[in-house]
Amino acid sequence: MKRSNLFIWIGISLTIGIILGWILNNRQPKFNLSTNEGKIYEIIKYLEENYVDSVSYKQLEDLSIEKLLSSLDPHSTYLTKEDIIVSTDPVLGEFEGIGIQFRMVKDTVTIIYVIPYGPASRKGLKAGDKIIEVNGNPIAGQKIKDIEIVKMLKGPKGTKVKLGIKREGYDEILHYELTRDVIPLFTIDAAFLINPQTGYIRINSFSSNTAEEFKSALKDLKNQYQIKNLIIDLRDNGGGVLESAVEIANIFLPKGALIVYIEGQHRPRKDFYAWGDTLGNDLNVAVLVNQFTASASEIVAGALQDNDRATIIGRRTFGKGLVQEQIMLKDSTALRITVARYYTPSGRCIQRPYDEGYEKYFLDYYESILDTTSLHSLIKNIDTVKYYTVNGRVVYGNGGIMPDTIVIKDYDVPILSYSKILNSQTFFDQLADFVQNNRQELLKLYPNEDDFAKQYKISDQQMKTLLGDSYYHIGTQYKNTFAKIITSYIAREIYSPAAYIKVSYPIDKCIQTALEILKASGK
């Protein structure tokens, strides 16, 4: 036999041997898919018992559910027990705990805000305090996840937790025993007079308490200052409770005006109408939105725009218009399932299209955030279908709310420079150190946020300390703007979210545009 033929036969023999060996040694097991459990159960069970690596039934079950839901739409989701803990409190508008907000700074839990009248406030805890121990167990430098810290600090009303606190100016650890209580979550970040005729209210989310908070803030502005104009800031507001959004829109609409409607394959159309609340009837209104404005926020913006009741200013909103219902499962996890869509009064579907898949859906969104150098990203998704407001103005749909007046970016600085410098962990670490080291001195010089907003000027040296080498890359023409933005961050850390706005609004292009439009209205 020729040598070449010999190699061919050896190859064939080896191939046949491999195939026969596989068949003999790997006879297919009986894989019965006809049981009442269904084939998903059978497949997971088989993988758990036969897969090459170690996998648990629960791990595979959770993964299957997540993949299944993500294939339906971008917002149907599976919630673990931890997810439910995090997501439920903001909706309810309250939680049971000690009443602090914290940030992990260099592996140490640092209190950044103490909620007034809560257990932590009553015991004298302060912003800047570092939590070193919880119930005698050290937590500093342990690289514990935020969710685990939350679990340690939260708990049923009446239960106790012991904290070890490291405070500036004290060598020893201070020990506190706190009794947990019901803590309200406030969704109104700021409400103040921005000029002699104009009030400003910023809503960070929509909880069950938001409408009452908003009404209280608006009444105060009207009673104290007799305002004629109102700026409602919904930028970065990811939404929340539908009923609260409907109630806030109702404040500005005549009785019988359509606010929103929902409809789905298995859910008949349901309309939500204004029932007549005269609190905001006499006000000229501007609403600020951006790419992070979503869900319930879009309902408010869409309702006021379609009813010709407000000027919408900013950038196209996110386009999250899916109605979800939450179904609890036996193991205390949950499914949040899309059952209908939101539509504005003119018939526009708020939801952005997602028929090209999950990844494309979010990729388009992130590209729109980065592309703020032109109007292209803001208008490219306008479809050709026209919708009409109650006064006959043309508006377009295809997802999100397109503003009446487009403002490409909030601050006159390059968006990539802003993100790279001020959204970096390095900057926030330096900011935390700066605030920690200068808090008491600044509070002595500027006892309240209004004094700080009017008088504080950040020095070049302080900017260099906070920005490090990035200071030399901000550009001379943008130096004053960056100084103002950084000052607003300091104000927020020391005083409140409202202080951030009070410092930054003179350079905030959305707010300044709103003020110009309201002034031009002559009201």
pLDDT at 358: 65
The residue type of 4 is S
- Cβ–Cβ under 8 Å, residues 305 and 395: yes
Mean pLDDT to the nearest integer, 400-426: 86
Largest Cα–Cα distance in the chain? 108
Residues 395-404: tens digit of each pLDDT: 988 888 999 9
Residues 427-455: tens digit of each pLDDT: 888 888 898 889 889 999 999 999 999 99
**Whether the model pTM is above 0.85:** no
Catalytic residues: 295, 306, 320
**Structure confidence at residue 384 as a pLDDT band (50, 70, 90):** low
- Cβ–Cβ under 8 Å, residues 310 and 233: no
CA 75 to chain CA centroid, nearest Å: 14
Asked whether the predicted pLDDT for residue 408 surpasses 50, the reply is: yes
Residues 115-133: tens digit of each pLDDT: 877 888 888 888 888 899 9
C-beta atoms surrounding 298 within 10 Å: 29
Residues 319-371: tens digit of each pLDDT: 999 988 888 888 888 888 899 999 999 999 999 888 777 677 777 666 666 55
Nearest residue to 162 (alpha-carbon basis) of 108, 112, 110, 123: 123
* Token reading at 438: 């200068």
Mean pLDDT to the nearest integer, 466-486: 91
- Cβ–Cβ under 8 Å, residues 284 and 523: yes
Average pLDDT, the chain: 85
pLDDT at 335: 87
Q: Which helix (H) or strand (E) holds 303?
A: helix 296-306
Pairing assessment for the beta strands 310-314 and 405-406 based on DSSP bridges? parallel
Residues 309-324: tens digit of each pLDDT: 999 999 989 899 998 8
Residues 7-17: tens digit of each pLDDT: 444 444 444 44
* Token reading at 3: 């040598």
pLDDT at 9: 46
pLDDT at 366: 66
